[in-house]
Structure 1
Amino acid sequence: MTQKKRNEDIGNRGGGRSVLFRNGTMDFLAGWLLGYSQQGGLSPGALLHCYSLIRDGDPRSWVSVFAQAGEEAADRAEQAGAAARNREVAREWSAAQIAFRAALEMCDPRTSEAADLTGRMRHAFEAYLAASGVPLIGWDVEFRDSYFPAYVTPSVQRAEQLLVIVGGGDTYVEDLWFFGGKAAIERGWPVLLADYPGQGDTPSRGLHFGEQTIDGMRQVVDDIREQGFHGELVMLGWSGGGIFATRFAATARSTDRVSALVASTPIYDPGTFFRRTLPDVVQGGPDSVLVRAALGIARRNRVLRTSLDRYDWQFGAGGISTIADRFDELKVDLSTWRLPVLALVGLGEDSESLRQAQGVIKQAQVHHPSSELVTFDPWTGAQAHCQVGNLPLALAQVFDWLEAPVLAQERAAS
């Protein structure tokens, strides 16, 4: 395929090149969904068919096509179930989950349509779990007169370690199945997946990004402790989850028993990160010249406008233009860092991701020489944001590092 002239995306998530769509956001999301297909979801053939029907740069076209793909997959799942073709049932429910999830990405989150798509996605995921026999149970975590959804491995009380997977600004809890949930369970790791404040559909219940997100993480950990889990926590953060997992680990209470951090990417100074990497819309107040110029671009780019509207919703009062100042509160003092760290960085991303990861690893290696920075170039297929083009490769690095004898020896000695 030839490369296309690229339009704006939020940040530089895809590495600055477009292949499937001229629109940068659509192109990144298209690669993300193809990456999922290595573990489940829609097949590459089904995705390519969807892409052929979508009008480049038209968010409503994207929503319509993927909503139909979800309905078709759900119908096939029902038909397979009636014929007792159980393996096919699981595959089709996984396809339906990801189709509805894809539609959500371009849908106005404040609408009844978004609520309906969220319900369909959640139903499809839970139907997949039931059909495949995956050991995960869901519950609603009560938090500040509201709640957020979570899933955990049954019998976690007997586990010595628990992998806490934390997503970012573009994930729902069901996405975390592909960002380590599936791979962890296959390797015998118990897992905890959740939508923390600001993620998934939590803004519809008054929960937004910021320090509240960290408080939500503490709440779910407290709930797990109350359920009888007494082991160690290993944090695995993706995208914004790299910010939240790093902050949580740095400010963890002794009772949290955090033993290691893995992140793509560990960001210790998120205010500076966003000032350097995001479009001008987040670099000034809502009435600034920069913001007005950025909004002018967004009005001409409907996909970018849709993305900015979603982020405004996730951040609540002040919207996304407050992100840098708000996230200054989450800065980590690296001089106090004492945990082992594995940092994953795609070389297609902004250089600020690599710079901050290097800073974290340099400090972590003072006490844990096994701490490591792993980079992914375009030949790996994992160079984009969160390694979405080759998650199995990134996850192989994650679990090989976590299970290495040298890490266990360092932790035992610390």
Structure 2
Amino acid sequence: MRPLAFDDPTFDYQTRRAAAYATYRGAELGEVLATVDGAEDGEGVEDGDYVGWYVAWRATADRVAGEAESALAAGHEETARDALLRASNYYRTAEFFLGPDDPRRLPTYERSRETFRAALPLLDAAAREVEVPYEGRTLPGYLFEPASSSTSSTSSPSPSAEARPTVVAVGGFDAIAEELYFLCGVPAALERGYAVLAFDGPGQGAPLRYDGLTARPDWEAVVGPVLDFLGDEPTVDDDRTALLGASMGGYYAPRAAAFDDRVAACVAFDHCLGVWEAATFGKESVASLVEQVPGPVVNAVASLRARLDPGARWQLRNSEWVFGVDAAGLSATLKEYSLVDVADRIECPTLVLAGEDDHLMPLPLAYELVDRLGGEAELRVFTREEGAADHCQVGNLSLAHGVVYDWLDETLGRGS
């Protein structure tokens, strides 16, 4: 696919990722392009310039958030809502390339959450913040329900409210719960009558940033408490609860489904047979050689590559943060995140999505995952002609979410 704004594939993909959320009022293409082109100072963001990226996106986010404040003060709630959703996405994008210890990271992340939460009372749906009990802590998230489920966006659903089929949105390697509103198409789900729970798990969002909770491979231990929590919600149909795992969530969600029979359906969006399998696909001999090299040498080589390649620099730094290991320890850790030995335990209906040009999840691994699944499985491969061949189909979320929710309608029975 022709680059949108950058020659560097990582910078270009993140630009397209930000722009994709225009589908749900989370961006405007003109604002996105003006940001990376440097509309204010005439100097666009350069490939690999992490600082320039942050400065440009932070400026746009601040400006749009200011527009939201002015609109709200004037009583223009619809305008304020849309600006708040865009600002939240732009703050998330500004934070993206910052190092874990960068003093700008937490304040920028907090602004993403603040603007998103400020938009919740203005949505055409019931939306409330929730805290899921988890191993002596809580996991933060949001429960969205069609507006008819409650009398206001902040009140609890009434006991007489209808129990609805429910989607649990599961994020991935660099996920935050707020982004899942856009990435998993929460507005599309609400239109069809589904309730949706989006949350941060270990290695993601607030648990990683505030509590230092790194990722874990056994996500049945994470999803289990989420399903327990939903079991107490009167508007949730316990027999029609699906997992929708986005990006590396395409591993997390099927992994949970393999060990928890409360999952009625599972969507891998995209597929993720295994993190190590994806990272080393087509490079198996090099990966084998690296595993035989002493740890200090691995760390030195990884550091050198990171200095030369902006995408590799972000991936290494974020991997060390999310998984809590250095470069030398990554291979052993990433191998734990694999469905190879458990996919046959997944008995619920499963939909696997794949893009033919996905730069993170090689297409052949999608076919292998489907072959290994123990229950009914369906694979949908998106093409470049559809504009949806990229990772998580960010070029055409309307198409991807149509496929997902049509399939869930047929599998779970559509909500009302």
Instruction: State the TM bucket, normalised to the shorter chain.
Output: 0.7 to 0.9
Letter in 2 for 1:131: L
**Pairs within 5 Å for 1:136-151:** 136-151=127-142
Answering whether residue 90 of structure 2 is matched by residue 99 of structure 1, we say: yes
Deviations 1:140-169 (A, max 9, x none): 334334433111135397424210111111
Answering whether residue 180 of structure 2 is matched by residue 171 of structure 1, we say: no
Residues in 1 aligned to 2:279 and 2:310: alpha-carbon distance in whole angstroms:
22
Taking structure 1 as reference, are residues 65 and 110 closer, same or farther at Cα in structure 2, changes over 3 Å only? same
- Residue matched to 1:322: 330
Letter in 2 for 1:149: P
Residues in 1 aligned to 2:294 and 2:241: alpha-carbon distance in whole angstroms:
39
- Residue matched to 1:199: 204
**Residue 312 (structure 1) shift:** 1.0
In terms of mean alpha carbon deviation, does 333-342 or 65-74 score higher?
333-342
**Residue 281 (structure 1) shift:** 8.8
Letter in 2 for 1:185: L
- Determine which of 51, 64, 78 is the counterpart of 1:73: 64
Residues in 2 aligned to 1:212 and 1:156: alpha-carbon distance in whole angstroms:
34
Kindly indicate whether the alpha-carbon contact (under 8 Å) linking 2:165 and 2:412 is maintained by their aligned counterparts in 1. Answer: no
Letter in 1 for 2:223: M
In terms of mean alpha carbon deviation, does 344-353 or 377-386 score higher?
344-353
Taking structure 1 as reference, are residues 259 and 291 closer, same or farther at Cα in structure 2, changes over 3 Å only? same
Taking structure 1 as reference, are residues 273 and 302 closer, same or farther at Cα in structure 2, changes over 3 Å only? closer
Taking structure 1 as reference, are residues 272 and 367 closer, same or farther at Cα in structure 2, changes over 3 Å only? closer
SS in 2 for 1:379: coil
- Residue matched to 1:162: 166
Answering whether residue 342 of structure 2 is matched by residue 342 of structure 1, we say: no
Letter in 2 for 1:152: L
SS in 2 for 1:135: strand
Where does the alignment leave 5 or more consecutive residues of structure 2 unmatched?
A: 39-44, 146-156
- Residue matched to 2:408: 402
**Pairs within 5 Å for 1:123-142:** 123-142=114-133
Residues in 2 aligned to 1:82 and 1:363: alpha-carbon distance in whole angstroms:
55
**Residue 295 (structure 1) shift:** 2.3
Kindly indicate whether the alpha-carbon contact (under 8 Å) linking 2:173 and 2:248 is maintained by their aligned counterparts in 1. Answer: yes
**How high is the TM-score relative to the length of structure 1?**
0.84
- Residue matched to 2:37: 52
Residues in 1 aligned to 2:316 and 2:287: alpha-carbon distance in whole angstroms:
9
- Residue matched to 1:376: 382
- Residue matched to 2:152: none
Answering whether residue 248 of structure 2 is matched by residue 240 of structure 1, we say: yes
Letter in 1 for 2:363: L
- Residue matched to 2:41: none
**Residue 45 (structure 1) shift:** 0.5
Letter in 2 for 1:48: L
Kindly indicate whether the alpha-carbon contact (under 8 Å) linking 1:268 and 1:356 is maintained by their aligned counterparts in 2. Answer: yes
Residues in 2 aligned to 1:396 and 1:147: alpha-carbon distance in whole angstroms:
32
| Greater relative contact order (CA < 8 Å, ≥ 6 in sequence) | 1
Taking structure 1 as reference, are residues 184 and 362 closer, same or farther at Cα in structure 2, changes over 3 Å only? same
- Determine which of 4, 12, 17 is the counterpart of 1:32: 17
- Determine which of 109, 126, 132 is the counterpart of 1:118: 109
- Residue matched to 2:394: 388
Deviations 1:16-41 (A, max 9, x none): x6441122210110111121122212
Letter in 1 for 2:306: A
Identity of aligned residues (%): 27
Letter in 2 for 1:45: G
More helix by share: 1
Taking structure 1 as reference, are residues 278 and 46 closer, same or farther at Cα in structure 2, changes over 3 Å only? farther
- Residue matched to 2:265: 260
In terms of mean alpha carbon deviation, does 277-286 or 264-273 score higher?
277-286
Structure 1 stretches of 4+ with a deviation exceeding 6 A read: 277-282
Taking structure 1 as reference, are residues 342 and 36 closer, same or farther at Cα in structure 2, changes over 3 Å only? same
- Residue matched to 1:5: none
Q: How many residues align?
A: 386
Where does the alignment leave 5 or more consecutive residues of structure 1 unmatched?
A: 1-14, 410-414
Kindly indicate whether the alpha-carbon contact (under 8 Å) linking 1:167 and 1:176 is maintained by their aligned counterparts in 2. Answer: yes
- Residue matched to 2:154: none
